[in-house]
Structure 1
């Protein structure tokens, strides 16, 4: 491949990984290894492409390709770190920060910093310090760097000057972010100047307009979020709503997406309906258009605008899949051309902001293919593959994923994703109910998912329910999950497993429940509430008691914001005083003696969301009456696993655990016992 190997030519073939299947499934590392090629972006003119590419030791560097001759230039690399987020400043210059993907957060003692470099590798300049606590030292080029706590505003703007915008957090006493000031930074001189902020509340978010200048600010005061429009030196209120529930605003409750090239503001809003859609917002009248510009059937609109310098081309969105709605006829035709060349896949097109470049960047994937990055030439109509997400994954070995919908016991329709093992009859399969975290987030979408595909490659069907409380399926679906931890939300998961049995998909007595964070909580409560349904459970980084999230002490600090604890959790999860009886009844920790099924527990020693103390306290309670409990901790990991050796170790443990309880090992053990008894 072009960039992954830094070669001078690319595979001029359609995207797609190896086709031949082998008898043994891929090793765990193939599913969880870091991509050696990632985040490609066209330059504003479309004449160049930048991407992160891997060195032989795995370190990620920044490379730039000239698209007229496909020559490659490595423009930035660190000896002991990885290039992190990057973007084009203009057609000649890029900006990027640093990260260390080979260390956990507990070992990483540096800030991301900020750097700029020309596309030919010249004029490298450090703009922001990388040492925590370092205060504006001078660089070797004589430019005074900004302090470590300035971070790139990840909005590209117009990309036609040497300037970018950076955020400077103002910290609370508990080290949370109280507000964010905005600074305009010259990537050539290193000079920075502050942008005047509105006086109403603390600024949480900034939005640039069509000229790349700050135009919108969202502030927070107590629980109230306010969207403000900058008009000269003053700010005008456009919208106000409850920041944690989304309520109180009616048709005027919206999330700003950005400005079109003509200055029109586009927003995501419900417009008084159940599901959010894409609307124009009339700045003169201060209200939404009567009809949405884009509305999705069965889903909230969640996406971004796609614009050139002079035209709104379309909008990306997430329904069952990631897609693009093109408003411009030429883009609709190009989408159809690419889809015809890459059938059966999701093909997301990225265009240049300006210029007459013939190149489109295509991100192409399916449920069995982790994804390829492809260049499409609109003149020759040829495809050139430039990189893959998971180069060791064989699509023919992967399972198929489908979206189903079932009725919960109270009649609410629950969407769910099922990933089937390859070549299975889709009948009488061992099933893993994989519960997403959050829980007030969208869980999944159609495509290749490493957790589900790893389990499917080992012979398990994987069902991922979007239980009530999940976002993306309308306000009623979200609202139905408030204060339902361990109650109706838990019933939704059980009802999904029972539906799978009734459909003949799942084998009774061969169902395991699993998940991380809230999914870990649901796993534990599943074993409490439905021991006859689930044969086993796997919980990692799992919440063990809601009260502990409020006040559970440990040796460090929680990263749950005080605002969320004060305004969000009492309303959405449960009030620690008013709902104390309910929280006790739905506490896995307090119900630990009722869990008798085999259970695998895993926690990170540096988890600031669900601290290790929470897991240890639960493990001590449950193992007293349950000999089938297994425990593993990863001392330097946080809320989830970052290092590949830890990921491989964990999922290898999961594989063995499932095999013993609902897999071939369990069937063999049952057959052996039966033969012995006879």
Structure 2
């Protein structure tokens, strides 16, 4: 099975605000025996991250600081003490990399200032020579295919000809030469086989779904061989071909609610179910590195687990599960399938990376990502099932302050931490924001509200046209649950989040102004009209889906919905403290989204604090900026909810932060400036 398309997760920081009382003083007294962990230990650079083994199994690459900026490093797997840096980035941290199939170079992507115009670079391991492999301005690369069988090239797609559509090219890894494979005028994605021949092209249809077209000798069949509507679009997709090209694996929800793992025989067209689960989608499989046949799959409901399909790998997974004593992930494997890079996450300690050798079942620790947190008072994450008012089950994650234990004897202030997307999900594992806030004295609750992915198509579709309505009701229901459980009291709950989580924060304060004590919005949209009119051009194929799930700005009914659901138009109703963080170069949620609501609130003399980072985009990638915003946030929360806070100190000056408005409303901010 071809290696999966590289996806870049642009990580957004998530944060909150606060006011004192006897309740808060009692919480502070409870915390007095728990050491305060420096925020830099949570949000500064990790020591090492993202390890990948070379296909030949001889080298290990990872991302680690060089002069304070995350860069690529490499070392012989047999002797990590011989590590050397491969890159010398001085501004933008590198956050995603992968090996070339010939094991001679490491490839990575990066953008400028958070604009998400990701370009592809390659570095030769032996010589250290670095090349720009997609040297185009205002262009975003997609990695279409990497094969174990084709060593000298990979497939990439770039939108340098037309910003809306990505043309597929074959990239010669030795010379850097790009050769056009397919000129794209309307297809959203492509799937090649192990020989790097394009076999499937996908195209959005007018129903908001996807049409799947076969590709033969570079030509797309005019009639789709399969189609799905909007209900199935986020739960049905081809995963990859077997090496012989005879079978195709699918994550497929057609005729069922959750995505099952299916195998399709391409000669007959017949499919068979490999695995399915009524609770959660199966969207990821572990293929044999030689044959491409599925050996195991991942199931992520309350927690992540690997389930074997092939008996030959069952013993390996059972051994790792026993040794991990917690969740584990398989980061990469050598092409012979014998050496694995495994990350073990026990939540109450920083994650560690291991080399697993199948022969002899040897597990060798390579490093801990954040050794400065070893021995720190980290706390468990508790998976919970919470019912919405209309009976839906919301998988959620609760973290309690160390002094409170698994179940508090007395309520503590709580932060409702809302994920972005909204077509994404919260999951189980070590979470820097959860741990940081719990250390400050707060319960932290993350809720997979309707519209979240991973729990079947009905759960996703239940969020259609429900921004600021039933999706928001789910968050309120989770707060009601927490109050009923004695975790918190209704007057001591803050709401915070990034992207959609930022929208939920604004909606919470504007639409239900008495429900939350305060809010922290990071890169959240305030005006759904301007949000939809400023999406990047390469999201053209997604527009119909956005219109059907959020609201259609081309119809009068859709316009009415968008206006009603835009917090900007209810900004005058906000009465509780609000902190906003924004990247100036954000291509997804334009800086104008934050500018607008700050202007509307200041015009009405409603207090709001607004911090802008001129060198960031959709979230804060540079640790200095992340630490600075967290410093402002925890002091803001301290006033609102009464928890502990490390002083802002010099963190603001070490960042690019520009306080555009309302420094006087956030404790210690004026002095720190």
TM range (shorter): 0.7 to 0.9
Equivalent residue number for residue 32 of structure 1: 43
2-structure distance, mates of 1:126, 1:22: 53
Pairs within 5 Å for 1:635-674: 635-664=614-643
SS in 2 for 1:49: strand
Q: Which residue in 2 is equivalent to 1:302?
A: 283
Would you say 1:206 and 2:196 are equivalent positions?
no
1:311-326 maps to which residues of 2 (within 5 A)? Answer: 312=293, 313-326=295-308
Aligned to 1:228: 213
Residue 405 (structure 1) aligned to one of 385, 391, 404: 385
Q: Alpha-carbon deviations, 1:305-357, whole Å to 9, x = none?
A: 422213622234433333322222232112222232232343537432227x5
The separation in 1 between residues aligned to 2:367 and 2:526, in whole angstroms, is 41
What is the match of residue 11 of structure 1? none
Q: What is residue 239 of structure 1 aligned with on the other side? A: 226
- Report matched runs for 1:320-339 at 5 Å: 320-339=302-321
How far 1:512 moved relative to its partner?
A: 1.0
Structure number with bigger Rg: 1
CA distance in 2, matches of 1:34, 1:41: 18
Unaligned runs of 5+ in 1: 1-20, 134-148, 552-556, 667-678
- The Cα shift of 1:297 comes to 4.0
Q: Which has the higher contact order (CA 8 A, sep 6+)?
A: 2
Q: Does structure 1 residue 431 correspond to structure 2 residue 440?
A: no
| Secondary structure of the corresponding residue to residue 145 of structure 2 | coil
C-alpha separation in 1, matches of 2:156 and 2:43 = 32
**Would you say 1:72 and 2:62 are equivalent positions?**
no
* Runs (4+) off by over 6 Å: none
Please state how far the C-alpha of 1:587 moved relative to its aligned partner: 2.7
| Pick aligned residue for 1:486 from 435, 450, 468 | 468
Distance in structure 1 (CA, Å) of the matches to 2:58 and 2:113? 37
Q: Normalized against structure 1, the TM-score is what? A: 0.81
How far is 1:473 from its partner?
0.9
CA distance in 1, matches of 2:300, 2:387: 23
How many angstroms apart in 2 are the aligned matches of 1:384 and 1:417? 31
Give the whole-Å Cα distance in 2 for the aligned partners of 1:664 and 1:205. 47
Of residues 325, 331, 335, the one that matches 1:353 is: 335
**Structure 2 unmatched runs, 5+:** 1-31, 646-673
Q: After the TM superposition, which residues 104-503 of structure 1 pair with which residues of structure 2 at under 5 Å, given as runs? A: 104-105=113-114, 112-117=119-124, 119=125, 121-122=126-127, 124=129, 126=131, 128=133, 130=135, 132=137, 151=141, 153=143, 155-169=145-159, 171-172=161-162, 176-178=163-165, 180-196=166-182, 202-220=186-204, 225-232=210-217, 235-236=220-221, 237-242=224-229, 245-247=230-232, 254-263=236-245, 264-289=247-272, 292-310=273-291, 312=293, 313-348=295-330, 350-354=332-336, 357=338, 359-394=339-374, 396-425=376-405, 426-427=407-408, 428-439=411-422, 441-503=423-485
Q: What RMSD over aligned residues (CA atoms) do the two structures have, in Å?
A: 3.2
Map of 2:612 onto structure 1: 633
Q: Distance in 2 between matches of 1:613 and 1:335?
A: 49
Aligned length: 603
Q: What secondary structure, in the 3-state scheme, does the structure 1 residue paired with 2:618 have?
A: coil
Q: Deviations over 1:514-552 (max 9, x none)?
A: 11222122112222343333211111222212223245x
Are the equivalent residues in 2 in contact too, given 1:46–1:353 (CA < 8 A)?
yes
